[in-house]
Amino acid sequence: MKREIIPHSPHFAARESERRVDLDWVRISAFGLLILYHVGMLYVSWGFHIKSAHRITELEPLMLLLNPWRLALLFLVSGAATRFMLRKLTAGQLLRSRTLRLLPPLIFGMLVIVPPQAYEQILESVGYDGGFLDFYLTRYFAFRHAFCDPGPCLLLPTWNHLWFVAYLWVYTMVLGGVLLVAPDLVRRVEQAIAPIFSGSWLLVLPAAMFAAYRLWLLPRFPQTHALSGDWYNHALYGTVFLLGFVVARADNVWFALQRFRWLALVTAAALFVSGLVLRPLYPLGQPIPLALKIYAGLAYGCYQWFCIVAVLGFARRWLNRDSAARRYLTDAVFPYYIVHQTAIILIAHGLRGLGLPASIEASIVISGTLASCAVTYEIVRRISVLRPLFGLKPGKLYVPSGLPRLECDHAASP
């Protein structure tokens, strides 16, 4: 059968040996921050699957610094990775490849990795008096909402932090389906977008879209990570996934990202400070003036995008050198992602009631989580039958390439 090649725009690099080490480092760093972020969720005032007895409110500004853009950044890098995959794959091969790389870890995670999280959550929230085996065999596969009193219901079975994998698979399937029907669409969109995003519109248009999503969609469709009805998240993450795909090979766009990095960073910092100043004036539950709501939505959307521009711009400028650490972590990061939240919850639950100071407890949770992830990866990468269950290619220890390895960029999430 004749292979169908996706044509390239003249704005786009055509080097088959092109390496994007900077995007590998962005992906690795983002997942590293994800682990720390989820540890932080044990200690802040916001809801999480389980909570520590300690509250560290000083962490909340740092969490707010990261939360608006960290996942959008991962979806953008995933979109870029998908575009690079099409250098060697047809659209049909892309669909098969992503399905084989994403669905086994998702299904395995929901069957094996995630259930301990749900069990620990109901232990602490409703005092479930059955053991884990009883919960797993009789309650986990309920396929309905359960354990609703007190607190929000659990929809069982659940994918918890693995929702990112499900969303990435869906977006890839939709995109791949479009490419099967209209392969020339990529070239036309690339030709339209690359010149526009090579200048100041790179800062304006995505920021305006993010702000519009925040103001119009979020009040109507709160974030659920349940796939169905999660339209604010689909608009946001679908947009950045598609944007990453379209501009992945547009050199002019990446030069613009590097050129605007300082402007984006300073603007994002100013927006973040304004949010910190306004936040205490209107505590949770207190009515907020309409003008302030509009400003908050605009500022949030702009902050999201400017942070992404800054990260990508500085990464392209400074994180462009390869190393053994990059090659190791590029392969390890997805298994780390799959395991990390279960490790955090199990370790934190095991420490509950010991009366440890917050600093000691958090240090144990972080070090224990990293050790659990590392041990899991070192075991899994050596056993062929386990590798696909953790998003690794069967039978290979390393993939000695740069960005194309990002085809298994399916995190987190979070």
pLDDT in tens, 94-111: 999 999 999 999 999 999
**Helix residue ranges, H only, 290-323:** 290-318
Q: How confident is the model at residue 253 (pLDDT cuts 50, 70, 90)?
A: very high
| Residue 119 in domain | no
260/201 Cα distance (integer angstroms)? 11
Q: What is the number of structural domains in the chain?
A: 1
**Nearest to 150, CA basis, from 64, 248, 47:** 47
CB 78 within 8 A of CB 400: no
CB 44 within 8 A of CB 34: no
Q: How confident is the model at residue 149 (pLDDT cuts 50, 70, 90)?
A: low
Q: Give this prediction's pTM.
A: 0.89
| Residue 293 in domain | yes
Provide the angle, in degrees to the nearest 10, between the axes of the packed helices 21-40 and 290-318.
Answer: 130
pLDDT of residue 280: 80
Residues of the chain with pLDDT > 90, as a percent, come to 72
**Nearest to 395, CA basis, from 406, 384, 411, 408:** 384
Q: Per the structure block, which two tokens stand in for 13?
A: 């690099």
pLDDT of residue 261: 98
Q: If DSSP codes are grouped into helix, strand and coil, which group holds residue 413?
A: coil
pLDDT in tens, 374-403: 999 999 999 999 999 999 988 654 443 333
| Residue 190 in domain | yes
Query: Is the N-terminal amide bond of 68 cis, ω within 30° of 0?
Result: no
30/36 Cα distance (integer angstroms)? 10
pLDDT in tens, 306-351: 999 999 999 999 998 899 999 999 999 999 999 999 999 999 999 9
Instruction: With residue 154 as reference, give the H or E element that holds it.
Output: strand 154-156
CA 269 to chain centre: 22
| Residue 251 in domain | yes
| Residue 350 in domain | yes
| Residue 3 in domain | no
pLDDT in tens, 254-273: 999 999 999 999 999 999 99
| Residue 138 in domain | no
331/228 Cα distance (integer angstroms)? 31
pLDDT of residue 287: 81
pLDDT in tens, 29-71: 999 999 999 999 999 988 899 999 999 988 999 999 999 999 9
CB 80 within 8 A of CB 245: yes
279/190 Cα distance (integer angstroms)? 40
| Residue 136 in domain | no
Backbone angles phi, psi at 149, to 5 degrees: -130, 115
Domain boundaries, position 306 = 21-114+159-408
Amino acid (1-letter code) at residue 190: E
**Helix residue ranges, H only, 19-130:** 21-40, 60-66, 70-85, 91-108, 115-126
